[in-house]
């Protein structure tokens, strides 16, 4: 990788403003603990993905084992061909907004970097809203959140707990501070979570004699849930325990 990286560097010396140091500030933290990365470049000579500053950064600046793949969007792209891997994908905004093909990894274990190749300026307000909508869809359907959108002027992420008016979920700027699991889950801003608790040594659900409905829960489990709720700031929606759901 290092050899390939320096070849690129030689051929790119007179490129625009290739500010790799600034990109360090944005990308070092989110990539720090990744065991591997796969870089997907768009196939075809009309794409010049390797000239993109973010692509350059991944080629030159990471110590992470990196494999490079060229890909072509096609009708037969499987639902989620990526398994649990971490991906850097170069694609157009239109492709990203479809949530299909390469734009739709539905597994939650990986980290995803989307390099928007067709951006010669920052996302417009309208594009931000459309991207936010497609992110909200992936979050509500698959709980996928670990995605970074690399645009010409900086990095965006989707924060499922920030609000857009009364709805949860908002596209926000990312400044390189932390990984998203740390950054996002510190304050869930009252996000509703369904919680079920089962009668056990640690949990005593109490029911209304007439209706059979759950009235309250006491016990150690409940105390732990309360502590988590306070710490993470979510709203606990206590569910009626289901007999068959235990285990």
Question: Is residue 189 part of the contact set for ligand NAG (CB under 6 A)?
Answer: yes
SS (H, E, C) the chain: CHHHHHHHHHHHCCCCCCCHHHHHHHHHHHHCCCCCEEEEEECCCCCCHHHCHHHHHHHHCCCCCEEEEEECCCCCCCCCCCCCCCEEEEECHHHHHHCCHHHCCCCCCCCEEEEECCCCCCCCHHHHHHHHHHHHHHHHHHCCCCEEEEECCEEEEEEEEEEECCEEEEEEEECCCCCHHHHHCCCCCCEEEEEECCCECCEEEEECCCCCCEEEEECHHHHHHHHHHHHHCEEEEEECCCHHHCC
Instruction: Name which of 73 and 187 has its Cβ closer to ligand NAG.
Output: 187
Shortest Cβ 223–ligand NAG spacing (Å):
19
Shortest Cβ 156–ligand NAG spacing (Å):
21
By CB under 6 A, the count of residues binding ligand NAG is: 4
Q: What is the x/- site pattern for ligand NAG, positions 226-245, by CB under 6 A?
A: -------x------------
Rounded to whole angstroms, how far apart are CA atoms 183 and 232?
A: 11
With contacts defined by CB under 6 A, name the span among 48-56, 70-78, 183-191, 238-246 that binds ligand NAG. Answer: 183-191
Burial label for 30, CB within 10 Å (0-12, 13-18, 19+), is buried
Shortest Cβ 24–ligand NAG spacing (Å):
30
Shortest Cβ 224–ligand NAG spacing (Å):
18
CA distances from 149 to 27, 39, 65, 90, 153 (A): 11, 14, 21, 10, 11
Spatial contact of 176 and 165, defined as CB atoms under 8 Å apart: no
Binding-site member from 190, 200, 220, 237 for ligand NAG (CB under 6 A): 190
Instruction: Name which of 44 and 190 has its Cβ closer to ligand NAG.
Output: 190
Instruction: Name which of 134 and 233 has its Cβ closer to ligand NAG.
Output: 233
Instruction: Name which of 189 and 236 has its Cβ closer to ligand NAG.
Output: 189
Question: Is residue 137 part of the contact set for ligand NAG (CB under 6 A)?
Answer: no
Shortest Cβ 233–ligand NAG spacing (Å):
4
Question: Is residue 192 part of the contact set for ligand NAG (CB under 6 A)?
Answer: no
Shortest Cβ 227–ligand NAG spacing (Å):
13
Question: Is residue 187 part of the contact set for ligand NAG (CB under 6 A)?
Answer: yes
Shortest Cβ 162–ligand NAG spacing (Å):
9
Question: Is residue 64 part of the contact set for ligand NAG (CB under 6 A)?
Answer: no
Question: Is residue 193 part of the contact set for ligand NAG (CB under 6 A)?
Answer: no
Binding site for ligand NAG (CB under 6 A): 187, 189-190, 233
């Amino acid at each position: 990788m290092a050899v390939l990286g320096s070849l690129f560097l030689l051929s790119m010396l007179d490129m625009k403003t290739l500010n790799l140091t600034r990109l360090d500030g944005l990308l070092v933290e989110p990539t720090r603990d990744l065991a591997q990365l796969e870089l997907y470049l768009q196939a075809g000579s009309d794409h010049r993905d390797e000239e993109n500053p973010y692509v350059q950064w991944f080629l030159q600046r990471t110590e992470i084992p990196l494999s490079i793949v060229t890909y072509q969007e096609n009708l037969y792209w499987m639902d989620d061909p990526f398994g649990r891997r971490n991906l850097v994908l170069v694609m157009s905004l239109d492709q990203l907004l479809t949530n299909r093909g390469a734009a739709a990894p539905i597994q939650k274990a990986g980290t995803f970097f989307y390099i928007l190749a067709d951006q010669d300026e920052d996302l417009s307000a309208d594009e931000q809203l459309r991207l936010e909508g497609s992110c909200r869809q992936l979050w509500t359907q698959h709980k996928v959140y670990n995605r970074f959108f690399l645009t010409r002027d900086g990095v965006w992420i989707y924060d499922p707990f920030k609000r857009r008016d009364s709805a949860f979920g908002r596209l926000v700027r990312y400044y390189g501070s932390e990984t998203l699991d740390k950054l996002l889950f510190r304050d869930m801003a009252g996000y509703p979570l369904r919680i079920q608790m089962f009668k056990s040594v640690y949990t005593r659900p109490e029911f209304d004699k007439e209706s059979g409905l759950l009235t309250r829960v006491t016990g150690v489990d409940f105390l732990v849930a309360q502590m988590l709720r306070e710490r993470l700031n979510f709203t606990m929606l206590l569910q009626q325990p289901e007999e068959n759901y235990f285990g």
